[in-house]
Amino acid sequence: MNWWPLYYRLRDARYGTARHPWASLAAVLIVALALFLFGGFLVVSQTLSSLAALLEQQVNIRAFVAAGADADALARQARQIQGVRAVTVISREETFRRLAGVFAGRARLEAAFPDNPFPDSLKITVAGPAAVEPVVRALAAMPGIDEVVSGQEYAAGLLAGAAALRAAGTAVSLGFLGAAVLMVTVTMHLLILSRGAEIRIQRLMGVSDAGIRAQFLLEGGLLGAFGALLAGAALLLLVDRAALTLARLLPLGAVPDLAPLPALAAVLGTGTLVGLGASLLAAHLALGRERPWRAGGPPRPASRPPPRRRRPPPGPPPPPAPAASCTS
């Protein structure tokens, strides 16, 4: 396979970028800004999804054991219910101890309640939000269960909030992806249109349209990749600082998972692909504007010349001068 055409195209792309350093730098910065915004809101979308999953995990069921019933036996029965992920037995002594810790600054809870009035309970974690109602019905039908508290209204609000968070994150990410594509396309178009003289010179030297497109395609891919690397580095720094800030402000269990690797991969891939596509489209439009020849014909002017003014027809010739008479 002959690799020399690719080598020449890469060399021309490198020379073309080096001949226009300020325009190339502006294109890289605009690409980096657009991709940084897209990647930042992609991380926000992933964080919202993590918060939604955290909210869904808070949907638990509490079943209170009747007096005289065996809590461990009821827990084993509850684990057999379809949709139950885990069952934890909370004894009446543990409940009393937790309440005493809450009211530590007041009179001692033991003095107010000399006899422990709290029953044993079961904390049931379900497999998903859709399993809450069937599990509640199955627990209520079990003998030995006095009361079942599920907080379905609270759970419905949590699930609605989780769905809204996911929808908002997806919409914001798609919106900024469209803005990034538009910004990069316009930038590449302006960059290539500013090099119309270079395109005409290449055509005078015999370079085909495919060769010109290949050069600008490689230039756009390189500029898009450089902008994506710059945006990825800034995104990693931002995510690291945001994770440290959230770790200081939020409790341990409420810190969302800020995973920058999927967003970083999306930014790098999007930058390269958008750079290639935008440069290809801009090169196609620029070649259409700068097409100076017809097929097999003389050069075609860029615009129609103004019409020539007609000269007025010449008038009748002047009469001949009278001949001088000779007198003798």
What DSSP assignment string belongs to 222-290?
A: HHHHHHHHHHHHHHHHHHHHHHHHHHHHS-GGG-----HHHHHHHHHHHHHHHHHHHHHHHHHHHHHHT
Domains of the chain: 7-55+158-289 (no CATH), 60-127 (3.30.70.3040)
**φ, ψ for residue 284, nearest 5 deg:** -65, -45
As a whole number of angstroms, the distance between CA 199 and CA 287 comes to 8
Could you say which DSSP state residue 195 is in? T
Is the distance from CB of 28 to CB of 226 less than 8 angstroms? yes
Alpha-carbon span 258 to 44, nearest angstrom: 9
pLDDT at 320: 74
Residue (of 286, 274, 276) closest to 195 by Cα position: 286
- 173 and 262 in contact (C-beta within 8 Å)? no
Distance CA 100, CA 109 (A): 6
Q: Which amino acid is at 152?
A: Q
Please give the pLDDT value at position 327.
56
- Residue 188 is encoded by which pair of tokens? 């590449």
Per residue of the chain (328 residues), what is the pLDDT tens digit? 567 666 777 777 777 777 778 877 887 888 888 888 888 777 777 776 766 666 666 667 888 888 888 888 888 888 888 888 888 888 877 877 776 665 554 456 566 666 667 788 888 888 777 777 888 888 888 888 888 877 655 656 666 766 776 777 778 777 777 777 777 777 777 777 777 777 788 778 887 778 778 878 888 888 888 888 888 888 888 877 776 776 666 554 445 556 677 778 888 888 888 888 878 887 777 777 655 444 444 455 555 666 666 777 776 777 776 666 555 4
How is residue 217 written in tokens? 């395609």
Long-range CB contacts (< 8 A, 24+ apart) of 23-26? 23/191, 23/194, 24/191, 24/219, 24/223, 26/187
Residue 74: both structure tokens together? 């009821």
Please tell me the distance from the alpha carbon of residue 174 to that of residue 19, in angstroms, as a whole number. Answer: 35
103-108: long-range contacts, CB 8 A cutoff, minimum separation 24: none
From the CA atom positions of the chain, what is the Rg in Å? 39
